[in-house]
Amino acid sequence: MLLDGKNSAKEYEDSLRLKIDKIKEKSGRAPHLTVIMVGNNEASKTYVSSKKKACLRVGMTSDIKYLDESIKEDELIALIESLNKNDDIDGILVQLPLPKHINESLVVNTVDPLKDVDGLTILNAGKVFTKTGGVAPATPKGIMMLLEKYNINVCGMHAVVVGRSNLVGLPIAKLLNDSDATVTLCHRQTRHLSTFTKSADLLVVAVGKKDMITKDMVKPGAIVIDVGINRMDGKLYGDVSSEVSSIASYFTPVPGGVGPMTINALLHNLLELYEVRHDC
Ligand code: NDP
């Protein structure tokens, strides 16, 4: 069965729109997201534009600051510091990757954790990892929202996550563990990867390699979440081969699976940050 991220996201947006209308009525303004985009990466440009469009669809506001590839690190930091102080901005998102001459971690951690809509600051990551609140990164959060939407309870399942980035693999492993799945985290140095993937009740793949998971690596009846986005000849592909859909109990398509839920979770995080800052 298809885990339809596109339609689930649309339904969530409908409910969010009502909440935003109420907020606007009460406070006179909607939550605002500022996105910082450095350089000309075509994929990043598409992502930032879809994030802005999603904000507008639900009645939130958003602006994108397009900055030249050659911007100096201290200039970028000064800009973020000024956005941190601006009370009309509720969320700040630095689109990654940044050019090589800029220290990504330093820049990301300049964002005020109370405006860190992507949940990438050390403080938010620490809070999520110690279960003391905080904002979870949008993609893992979006995956959990999609599972919830389809009433999939992961308690007791063996969840195998392939990929361990701070953005996706590591936090989704943590969130699945918090939901009482038994989690195995695999990466480049994992020996006999298919031994693990084949024993998964729930398989999450976040690597960035087209067709790296084939049918023979998946247990029939498993739930398969494909996070990968691979662009080839103007088309998008996931990390999981299309033949896997014939044996999975549930699977996410690419595009239309995890991608729209990531944007959904971003809107969710923005609203949550707005509510915390405005004591709603
Ligand atoms: P990273 O490159 O940061 O991480 C990739 C991970 O895959 C690493 O942990 C790496 O292991 C692991 N890996 C690489 N090769 C193998 C292998 N042969 N076997 C096992 N593990 C391997 O990528 P991200 O986590 O940022 O993104 C992963 C994918 O998800 C990309 O395609 C990206 O475009 C997509 N993505 C999609 C989103 C969406 O909204 N749908 C959002 C964010 C990302 P090691 O740590 O050992 O190097």
Q: Above pLDDT 90, what percent of the chain?
A: 96
pLDDT at 158 > cutoff 90: yes
H-helix or E-strand spanning residue 80: helix 73-85
Mutate to test the pocket of ligand 1, among 95, 144, 167, 207 (most ligand atoms within 8 A of CB): 207
Answering whether pTM is above 0.95, one says yes
Is the CB of 137 inside a 6 Å radius of any atom of ligand 1? no
Tell me what ipTM this predicted complex has: 0.99
Lowest mean pLDDT among 41-45, 86-90, 188-192, 253-257: 41-45
Tell me the pLDDT tens digit for each residue of 99-157: 999 999 999 999 999 999 999 999 999 999 999 999 999 999 999 999 999 999 999 99
Tell me the pLDDT tens digit for each residue of 39-97: 999 989 999 999 999 999 999 999 999 999 999 999 999 999 999 999 999 999 999 99
What pLDDT score does 175 carry?
Answer: 98
Tell me the pLDDT tens digit for each residue of 209-228: 999 999 999 999 999 999 99
Catalytic residues: 51, 95, 118
Q: 255: cis peptide before it, omega within 30°?
A: yes
| Euclidean distance between the first and the last CA atom of the chain, given in angstroms as a whole number | 38
**How far apart, in Å, are the Cα atoms of 132 and each of 120, 123, 125, 164, 165?**
15, 11, 10, 22, 21
pLDDT at 189 > cutoff 80: yes
Please give the mean pLDDT across all residues of the chain: 97
List where CATH 3.40.50.720 sits in the chain. 138-259
Mutate to test the pocket of ligand 1, among 41, 188, 213, 263 (most ligand atoms within 8 A of CB): 188
Q: Please determine, looking at this structure, whether the domain spanning 27-112 carries the CATH number 3.40.50.10860.
A: yes
Which CATH topology does 138-259 take? Rossmann fold (3.40.50)
List where CATH 3.40.50.10860 sits in the chain. 27-112
pLDDT at 280 > cutoff 80: no
Mean pLDDT value of segment 250-277: 96
**163 CA → ligand 1 middle, Å:** 5
Q: Give the number of the atom of ligand 1 that is nearest the alpha carbon of residue 168.
A: 25
Mean pLDDT value of segment 259-263: 97
Half-sphere exposure of 155 (CA within 13 A, CB side): 3
**142 CA → ligand 1 middle, Å:** 16
**212 CA → ligand 1 middle, Å:** 11
